[in-house]
Protein backbone atom coordinates (compact mmCIF):
# COMPACT_ATOMS: atom_id res chain seq x y z
CA UNK A 1 0.00 0.00 0.00
CA UNK A 2 1.31 3.42 -0.89
CA UNK A 3 1.74 6.25 1.60
CA UNK A 4 -0.96 8.39 -0.01
CA UNK A 5 -3.48 5.54 -0.14
CA UNK A 6 -2.85 4.62 3.51
CA UNK A 7 -3.11 8.23 4.67
CA UNK A 8 -6.32 8.76 2.68
CA UNK A 9 -7.93 5.60 4.06
CA UNK A 10 -6.95 6.44 7.63
CA UNK A 11 -8.17 10.03 7.43
CA UNK A 12 -11.48 8.91 5.91
CA UNK A 13 -11.84 6.27 8.64
CA UNK A 14 -11.11 8.85 11.36
CA UNK A 15 -13.57 11.29 9.83
CA UNK A 16 -16.25 8.59 9.71
CA UNK A 17 -15.44 7.68 13.31
CA UNK A 18 -15.77 11.28 14.47
CA UNK A 19 -19.06 11.70 12.58
CA UNK A 20 -20.44 8.50 14.13
CA UNK A 21 -19.20 9.49 17.59
CA UNK A 22 -20.85 12.92 17.44
CA UNK A 23 -24.02 11.39 15.98
CA UNK A 24 -24.07 8.90 18.87
CA UNK A 25 -23.62 11.68 21.42
CA UNK A 26 -26.53 13.61 19.87
CA UNK A 27 -28.78 10.54 19.86
CA UNK A 28 -27.74 9.40 23.36
CA UNK A 29 -31.08 10.33 24.94
CA UNK A 30 -33.08 8.48 22.29
CA UNK A 31 -33.23 4.72 21.93
CA UNK A 32 -31.38 3.79 18.76
CA UNK A 33 -30.83 0.52 16.96
CA UNK A 34 -27.26 -0.68 17.32
CA UNK A 35 -25.07 -0.98 14.27
CA UNK A 36 -23.29 -4.15 15.42
CA UNK A 37 -24.23 -6.83 12.91
CA UNK A 38 -23.06 -9.64 15.20
CA UNK A 39 -25.20 -8.43 18.11
CA UNK A 40 -28.22 -7.71 15.89
CA UNK A 41 -28.09 -11.19 14.32
CA UNK A 42 -27.02 -13.34 17.28
CA UNK A 43 -28.04 -11.26 20.28
CA UNK A 44 -24.51 -11.57 21.67
CA UNK A 45 -22.01 -8.74 21.98
CA UNK A 46 -18.95 -8.68 19.72
CA UNK A 47 -15.45 -7.76 21.01
CA UNK A 48 -15.96 -4.11 20.08
CA UNK A 49 -19.52 -3.68 21.38
CA UNK A 50 -19.61 -0.66 23.64
CA UNK A 51 -16.53 1.02 22.20
CA UNK A 52 -18.42 4.15 21.12
CA UNK A 53 -20.02 4.44 24.55
CA UNK A 54 -16.59 3.91 26.14
CA UNK A 55 -15.11 6.77 24.08
CA UNK A 56 -18.08 8.95 25.05
CA UNK A 57 -17.41 8.18 28.73
CA UNK A 58 -13.77 9.16 28.20
CA UNK A 59 -14.88 12.48 26.76
CA UNK A 60 -16.90 13.00 29.94
CA UNK A 61 -13.81 12.24 32.04
CA UNK A 62 -15.15 8.91 33.32
CA UNK A 63 -12.02 6.84 32.73
CA UNK A 64 -12.82 3.95 35.07
CA UNK A 65 -16.34 3.54 33.71
CA UNK A 66 -14.94 3.62 30.18
CA UNK A 67 -12.44 0.87 30.93
CA UNK A 68 -15.11 -1.29 32.56
CA UNK A 69 -17.47 -0.84 29.62
CA UNK A 70 -14.88 -1.70 26.96
CA UNK A 71 -11.09 -1.31 27.20
CA UNK A 72 -10.96 -0.87 23.42
CA UNK A 73 -12.42 2.59 23.98
CA UNK A 74 -9.09 3.88 25.32
CA UNK A 75 -7.26 2.49 22.29
CA UNK A 76 -9.78 3.94 19.83
CA UNK A 77 -9.77 7.34 21.55
CA UNK A 78 -5.96 7.41 21.46
CA UNK A 79 -5.86 6.46 17.78
CA UNK A 80 -8.57 8.96 16.84
CA UNK A 81 -6.65 11.70 18.65
CA UNK A 82 -3.07 10.96 17.60
CA UNK A 83 -3.47 9.53 14.10
CA UNK A 84 -4.99 12.55 12.30
CA UNK A 85 -2.46 14.92 13.87
CA UNK A 86 0.44 12.65 12.95
CA UNK A 87 -0.78 12.08 9.38
CA UNK A 88 -1.51 15.78 8.76
CA UNK A 89 1.93 16.66 10.15
CA UNK A 90 3.52 14.19 7.73
CA UNK A 91 1.54 15.65 4.83
CA UNK A 92 2.41 19.25 5.67
CA UNK A 93 6.09 18.51 6.30
CA UNK A 94 6.26 16.05 3.38
CA UNK A 95 7.59 13.28 5.59
CA UNK A 96 6.79 9.59 6.00
CA UNK A 97 7.17 9.08 9.75
CA UNK A 98 3.74 7.52 10.21
CA UNK A 99 4.07 5.39 7.08
CA UNK A 100 7.44 4.14 8.29
CA UNK A 101 6.05 3.36 11.75
CA UNK A 102 3.08 1.60 10.14
CA UNK A 103 5.35 -0.64 8.05
CA UNK A 104 7.51 -1.51 11.08
CA UNK A 105 4.43 -2.27 13.17
CA UNK A 106 3.03 -4.47 10.42
CA UNK A 107 6.23 -6.54 10.41
CA UNK A 108 6.10 -6.91 14.20
CA UNK A 109 2.42 -7.90 14.26
CA UNK A 110 3.03 -10.63 11.66
CA UNK A 111 5.25 -12.51 14.11
CA UNK A 112 3.18 -15.50 15.19
CA UNK A 113 3.64 -15.12 18.93
CA UNK A 114 2.66 -11.44 18.86
CA UNK A 115 -0.34 -12.17 16.65
CA UNK A 116 -1.43 -14.89 19.08
CA UNK A 117 -1.11 -12.54 22.08
CA UNK A 118 -3.14 -9.86 20.29
CA UNK A 119 -5.82 -12.40 19.32
CA UNK A 120 -5.98 -13.60 22.93
CA UNK A 121 -6.48 -10.01 24.10
CA UNK A 122 -9.35 -9.59 21.65
CA UNK A 123 -10.80 -12.92 22.83
CA UNK A 124 -10.53 -11.84 26.47
CA UNK A 125 -12.26 -8.58 25.65
CA UNK A 126 -15.00 -10.53 23.90
CA UNK A 127 -15.44 -12.77 26.95
CA UNK A 128 -15.59 -9.63 29.10
CA UNK A 129 -18.32 -8.17 26.85
CA UNK A 130 -20.31 -11.42 26.97
CA UNK A 131 -19.88 -11.63 30.74
CA UNK A 132 -21.28 -8.12 31.17
CA UNK A 133 -24.12 -9.09 28.81
CA UNK A 134 -23.97 -5.91 26.72
89-129 residue pLDDT tens:
999 999 999 999 999 999 999 999 999 999 999 999 999 88
CA–CA distance, 59 with 32 (Å, rounded to integer): 20
CA–CA distance, 50 with 3 (Å, rounded to integer): 31
What digits encode the pLDDT tens for the residues 37-91? Answer: 888 888 888 888 888 889 999 999 999 999 999 999 999 999 999 999 999 999 9
CA–CA distance, 73 with 53 (Å, rounded to integer): 8
Q: Say how many domains are in the chain.
A: 1
DSSP 94: T
Helix residue ranges per DSSP H, the chain: 3-26, 37-42, 51-59, 63-69, 72-93, 97-109, 112-132
Task: Tell me the DSSP string of 10-35.
Answer: HHHHHHHHHHHHHHHHHTTTS-----
Nearest to 69 by CA among 83, 58, 80, 78: 58
Please tell me which residue, 6 or 34, carries the higher pLDDT value: 6
Residue-number span of the structural domain to which 93 is assigned? 3-132
Q: Are 57 and 28 in contact (CB under 8 A)?
A: no
Q: Are 75 and 91 in contact (CB under 8 A)?
A: no
Amino acid sequence: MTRNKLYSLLLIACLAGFIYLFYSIQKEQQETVGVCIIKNVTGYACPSCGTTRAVTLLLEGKITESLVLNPFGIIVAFIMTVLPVWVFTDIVLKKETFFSAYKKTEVIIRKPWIAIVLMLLVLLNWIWNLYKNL
